[in-house]
Structure 1
Amino acid sequence: MHIVTQFPHKIVEDQDMGVPMPDGCRLSARVWMPEEASEKPFPAILEYIPYRKRDGTIGRDEIMHKYFAGRGYAVVRLDMRGSGESQGLMADEYTQVELDDAVAAIAWIAAQPWCDGNVGMMGKSWGGFNCLQTAAMNPDALRAIITVCSTTDRYADDIHYKGGCLLNDNFAWGSQMWSYSSRPPDPALVGDKWREMWMERLEAEPFLAATWLAHQRRDEYWKHGSVCEDYSAIKIPVLSIGGWADNYMNTVSHLVENLDVPVKGIVGPWVHQYPHTADPGPQIGFLQEAVRWWDHWLKGIATGVENDPAYRAYLQQTVKPARMHKHRDGHWLAESVWPSERVLTQVLPLSGAGVLGGNGGAFETQVNSPLDCGFGVGSFFPMSGDVPQHHADQRDDDARSACFDTDVLQQDLDILGAPFIRLRLSSDKPRAQIAVRLCEVHPDGASGRVTYGVLNLCHRNGHEAPQDIVPGEAFEIALTLDQMAYRIKAGMRLRVAISSAYWPFLWPVAERATLTLLEGALELPVHTGSEKNEWQFDEAEGASPWEARVLRPALYEKTQVTDKTTGEIRLILHDDLGLNEDPMHGLRSGTVTREVWRIHPDDPLCASGDIHWTQELARGDWSIRTETTAKMWSDAETYYLAGRLEAFEGDVLVYERDVETTVPRDFT
């Protein structure tokens, strides 16, 4: 990434600007703006998240928000209620209070003497969600948004459930927020009231893993904040960006296809990060793209963004499967309209004897996957190409699945869009799940996952009113796999691998089911007519990065251990983000995560997850530490969750709380 040190505007900064809410609550913002903004107002850009501007997102903020300020924008990085130095309490994600605060913040920003009344909003992940949700509320001053790594459907395409299956990341994310929300404000900014604010947070902090687990079907809880409920509510321009190595790759296509406002989409090879820094490469000049977007919609400058292709997608090429990728070969496609007229449907029937693309017809293939099927999967939300978070060779999982292969491809096959599979099958149990992986098989037998989809078979007719399966009775399902842009090179084979388990992505159903596949067909969105790069982005650049002093280096370890006596398999994760000190204000901050996931290949009721987080903050002789633990397990009827929260000043325990709860299984 090219570092820019000279900008058209000199930058001034306020590390703790108070943003008052209508109820008197003070939210805390870090603000960068051109030096002359007090005399000549500029448009403003808002990023609004709970991840702590002081120590949590400072690394990316320094690179990104100073850049925008230097290009002529007032940039407001606002912490939500109950996070960082903001007052108040946070009850859940995407609450109406959160969105009302966003609307109030936009109105307040627009009225400031340094703002010309035009506001844009942007964000990644949580911030990508809530800028879509805020746009749907139509604040008067909000002119355009940029949403990165976000979703349009909080139930079907987020971190909680997928295809009606319970994702293990629902528990993991709840455990993470249990830890994230346990940290106090910085005394250097809020003064002596830091401890009172901290104790209020600790006492009120929700155990969100249980909250989300209580909603196992697509009810009103999930519909709130899902902009797919009414795309027409969004009436301002939207730039949507995603990554193929992320699990929010579907959003860009959905927004470009369904919005009736100026909308553009970009999907690259990236993990869950902004695309000027994200692995795998190539990174792009995202900040330049953002400035083009803001200049047009906030300043009225003719930058040509309205004429950009509707959908730009990086067509990745065949690669040997590996846990880490720093770069993916490929080229950019530029679709003037989406859905694209250059995408045609190719139907490949499933046939007996494991053939994909034969004559089709009826067959009978049984699937009863051991519950350790799925260990070849990477992290649900990979964050880096430097640690082993990507998908491994799928051969072990393929051996636990029913596989259907094409002949060796005689020419390249380009996929752009969402593959779709229809299956006729039966189950010997009333509740079951299915995972379908689309893989490329190399001449040496290596198998790489291209895309996948999962379905709770009780949700075969929809996610709002699940129904038990009638054992032994045939039924049909239609399953859309995740979007992908991928070139499978000539000489490879295409494989559909179907399993009845997918651990550690999915929590298993209570009984191990045998599925009998009876008929099926894969529908591939095949792209035609592109052999060269159709779009050229600028080189990635940014402002000078945060130069933290590293007191403890980061460490990532992931191991899999099998108990030779019991057969239990443990997946053990140790993720130490290191301990860093800010050179300007001296705050030291560190985070360590430890996870243990247990499964037995034959016993779904053996499944469990244990997660332990440590947070450290210190300056001089002031130091605090929080320790949070969480555990989840189940029997045939009930999920069990337990959590513990401990807070220390120095080595003295000053707060502790235990939480235990049960949640009935609801067709999961």
Structure 2
Amino acid sequence: MTHVKIPMPDGKTLRAHIWLPEDALEHPVPALLEYLPYRKNDFTAIRDSARHPYFAGHGYASIRVDIRGSGDSDGILLDEYLKQEQDDALSVIDWICDQPWSTGRVGMFGKSWGGFNSLQVAAREHPALQAIMTLCSTDDRYQDDVHYRGGNILASDMLWWASTMFTYNARPQDPAVVGDTWRDNWLERVTDTPPFAIEWLSHQRRDDYWKHGSINEDYSKVSIPVFAVGGWQDAYTDAIFRMMEHLPNAKGLIGPWAHEYPEVATPEPTIGFLQEAIRFFDHWLKDTDTGMYDEPKFQAWIQEPEKPRVTYDVRPGRWIGMDHWPSNDVTSEKWYPSGQALSKESHEETILIPSVQEHGFYAGTFCPFGQPGDLPADQRLENGKAVVFTSKPLQEDVDYFGEPVFHARLSADADNAMVVVRLMDKAPTGESTLISWGMLNLNHYKSHEHPEALVPGDIYDVKVKLDSLGQKLTKGHRLEVAIAPTYWTKAWPSPTPVNLTLYTDEKTYLDLPVRQPNKRDQDVRVFDIAETAPIIERDVIRQEERSLDIVHAPIDSTWQIIDYSDEGSRKLKHNGIEHGSINKNVYTIKENDPLSATAECFWELTVGRDTWQTKVKTYSKMTSDQNNFYLRHTITAYENDQEVASNQWKNTIPRDFN
């Protein structure tokens, strides 16, 4: 069923595609809901065709809904994860329960946005929602999303993601579906949908804005079964460890993957993930013992050492299993920095860590989607711009699994500063592979809710949480730790150049989680080969193109990343819709000048059919001075190459310990 209308209590209408088993009216079935702003008719139509018919073929009503303000649904989309979004989802579930093909038992699933709102809706405790599957998502919107990390503004992603949604939200409804009202709604979306970055940048600390939609505020609200899935290349993997610890009915799976579904993700090995989804939902929505809970509740891929590449096709390794997190099989291993060494014994020393603004250009994409060039390059290109400590060659193989933490005693020569820590695997032949990293806004060292100015020269004891990892290091490899007060483009620079002083003693150390094998490793799932439903047919109008350039202009002392991604243009044969996208992002900084930092995002999106063609072009820019951030957004919409609407925003937002 296509373009199904789902009425909301306020008179608005959401629209959905629904795939049903052939005999669902005679034999009602449970329902699976995916609830997204990414347009069922075009942008996600290809991926929807792989999954939803598969679920229907295995005895589920599979439902794909455009949330309010997106696709063919009514309204405009004012921000991420609003209460209105959750309220609408509860109304959708009510509607599902009233359908003749429904048993009244509902599951939700989704990746990224759909994974977020699956958790958030679960916390609203609708009695019909009995299990969720959340991929590449988080329990904490401030700690683990594209806005802030460690209290620092994510320069590479906050503006980019805001510009992405700024453009996505401005695409029109389909006149063949909604009729003549499409144009009025489109013009309203173009001129009245706010750029999300304005709101995000107005909340630089973890206030009530971020607590909303963060289920870690009250884990007890999510008592239903949760299947939490992610990958080591994804930006959201830490949340799986927290959910395994705090949600009573959580099951976890971490592979080597980027921000994608595991049946199609890179790098290999992919798995038969749709089969795993069926096993999970059959257990909880059909009361069928699928054997899923005879296996370890938490399974993860331990990666073998690999030399650094910006793209991996395969990550060799092995699956491990455990039933609880934290695990008794994981113990702490302390490494102390001093001089240029990393050792098991502490030595007192005072080490200056200078400010180098171009540190971070080879760090890779914050949240890789599996595009070529997303991953960090050889860290020898970065290590001359930080202070690096290196261990002696390891004497035996070691598995690291969990969250590294760097404990540091340090001071800063400014009242606003950050610290960044990189952890690397240094091969016997010299290559340096980034395996984890973390950063902390030092003004947040006590609290992300109540930051405070540093006193220059005062000594502080801080903890820097690094990304969780599942990594084997083999005999002869060495650990490297790099420390710096800058990390462009991951972190927006402090307002002045900052020098840190590190005091190495027993209170300055890296705490690494070392894992020993256990007998449950023998019980891990031998995953099936990946299956999907047949993918819908489409014609390629324009081929995809991707480039990523790091440009150093030594005469001007300027560094730039120019990230260009043309996702191509295609025509879907089943509905005749043509759609395409082009995105370019430029990040610029000058040596020794943190106030030169500039982020710019350009988008062009097209949607059309035959003689009806639309295009949206946007430009977003972020800069700063000592006291303020400056945002600029412009948007222009075209119908059949004629401009029909435009708008612009200019905003000044005070710096708040950032």
What TM-score range do you get, normalising by the shorter chain?
Answer: over 0.9
Q: Which residue in 2 is equivalent to 1:236?
A: 224
Which of 146, 161, 178 is equivalent to 1:173?
161
Q: Which residue in 1 is equivalent to 2:172?
A: 184
Which of 374, 377, 380 is equivalent to 2:360?
374
1:585-664 to structure 2, matched below 5 A, reads: 585-664=575-654
Distance 1:127 1:308 in 2: 26
- 1:355 has 2:341 as partner: yes
Partner of 1:288, secondary structure, is helix
Q: What do residues 353-378 of structure 1 show as CA deviations (whole Å, max 9, x unaligned)?
A: 22112421321111113111011111
Q: Is this contact kept in 1: 2:139–2:239, CA < 8 A?
A: yes
Deviates more, 1:197-206 or 1:593-602: 197-206
1:15-54 to structure 2, matched below 5 A, reads: 15-54=2-41
- Paired AA for residue 296 in structure 2: P
Q: Which residue in 2 is equivalent to 1:415?
A: 400
- 1:305 has 2:295 as partner: no
Q: What do residues 137-163 of structure 1 show as CA deviations (whole Å, max 9, x unaligned)?
A: 001210100000000100011110010
Shift of 1:56: 1.2
- Paired AA for residue 216 in structure 1: Q
Distance 1:69 1:112 in 2: 16
Distance 1:541 1:640 in 2: 47
Distance 2:344 2:469 in 1: 24
- 1:330 has 2:317 as partner: yes
- 1:467 has 2:467 as partner: no
Partner of 2:262, secondary structure, is coil
Q: Is this contact kept in 2: 1:242–1:251, CA < 8 A?
A: no
Partner of 1:445, secondary structure, is coil
Distance 1:560 1:629 in 2: 21
Q: Is this contact kept in 2: 1:107–1:140, CA < 8 A?
A: no
Partner of 2:497, secondary structure, is coil
Q: Which runs of 4+ in 1 moved over 3 A?
A: 530-535
Which of 43, 66, 70 is equivalent to 1:56?
43
Partner of 2:293, secondary structure, is helix
Deviates more, 1:26-35 or 1:338-347: 338-347
Distance 2:105 2:465 in 1: 40
- Paired AA for residue 611 in structure 1: C
- 1:456 has 2:441 as partner: yes
- 1:137 has 2:127 as partner: no
Deviates more, 1:448-457 or 1:306-315: 306-315
- Paired AA for residue 600 in structure 2: D
Partner of 2:400, secondary structure, is strand
Which of 494, 507, 532 is equivalent to 1:542?
532
Q: What do residues 542-565 of structure 1 show as CA deviations (whole Å, max 9, x unaligned)?
A: 111132111100000111112232
Shift of 1:478: 1.2
- Paired AA for residue 166 in structure 2: W
The CA RMSD over aligned residues, in Å, is: 1.2
Q: Which residue in 2 is equivalent to 1:127?
A: 114
Shift of 1:577: 0.3
Distance 2:386 2:557 in 1: 20
Distance 1:587 1:596 in 2: 31
Distance 2:322 2:289 in 1: 22
Q: Which residue in 1 is equivalent to 2:432?
A: 447
- Paired AA for residue 401 in structure 1: A
* Gaps in structure 2 of 5+ consecutive residues: none
- 1:254 has 2:271 as partner: no
- Paired AA for residue 42 in structure 1: V
Distance 2:123 2:347 in 1: 47
- 1:223 has 2:208 as partner: no
Partner of 2:532, secondary structure, is strand
Partner of 2:20, secondary structure, is strand
Distance 1:38 1:49 in 2: 26
Partner of 2:623, secondary structure, is strand
Q: Is this contact kept in 2: 1:368–1:514, CA < 8 A?
A: yes
Partner of 2:79, secondary structure, is coil
Which of 59, 64, 69 is equivalent to 1:82?
69
Shift of 1:192: 1.8
Q: Which residue in 2 is equivalent to 1:109?
A: 96
Q: Is this contact kept in 2: 1:270–1:281, CA < 8 A?
A: yes
Shift of 1:415: 0.4
Q: What do residues 210-244 of structure 1 show as CA deviations (whole Å, max 9, x unaligned)?
A: 11000000000000000000000112111000110
TM-score w.r.t. the length of structure 1 is 0.96
Distance 1:565 1:375 in 2: 18
Shift of 1:62: 0.7
Distance 2:295 2:217 in 1: 27
Partner of 1:542, secondary structure, is coil
Q: What do residues 65-113 of structure 1 show as CA deviations (whole Å, max 9, x unaligned)?
A: 1100000100110000010000122111010000000111111111110
Q: What do residues 221-270 of structure 1 show as CA deviations (whole Å, max 9, x unaligned)?
A: 0000000000001121110001100000111111110012x210000000
Distance 1:535 1:368 in 2: 48
Q: Is this contact kept in 2: 1:182–1:205, CA < 8 A?
A: yes
Partner of 2:283, secondary structure, is helix
Q: Which residue in 2 is equivalent to 1:425?
A: 410
Q: Which residue in 2 is equivalent to 1:477?
A: 462
Q: Which residue in 2 is equivalent to 1:9?
A: none
Partner of 1:572, secondary structure, is strand
Shift of 1:380: 1.2
Which of 186, 189, 206 is equivalent to 1:198?
186
Deviates more, 1:475-484 or 1:587-596: 475-484
Distance 2:331 2:142 in 1: 29
Partner of 1:607, secondary structure, is strand
Q: Which residue in 2 is equivalent to 1:383?
A: 369
Q: Which residue in 2 is equivalent to 1:486?
A: 471
Distance 1:368 1:124 in 2: 40
Shift of 1:305: 2.4
Distance 1:152 1:403 in 2: 33
Q: How many residues align?
A: 652
Which of 489, 494, 497 is equivalent to 1:504?
489
Distance 1:562 1:404 in 2: 27
Q: Is this contact kept in 2: 1:310–1:338, CA < 8 A?
A: no
Q: Which residue in 2 is equivalent to 1:343?
A: 330
Q: How high is the sequence identity, in percent, across the aligned residues?
A: 42
Distance 1:635 1:20 in 2: 48
Partner of 1:36, secondary structure, is coil
Shift of 1:615: 0.6
Distance 1:173 1:459 in 2: 24
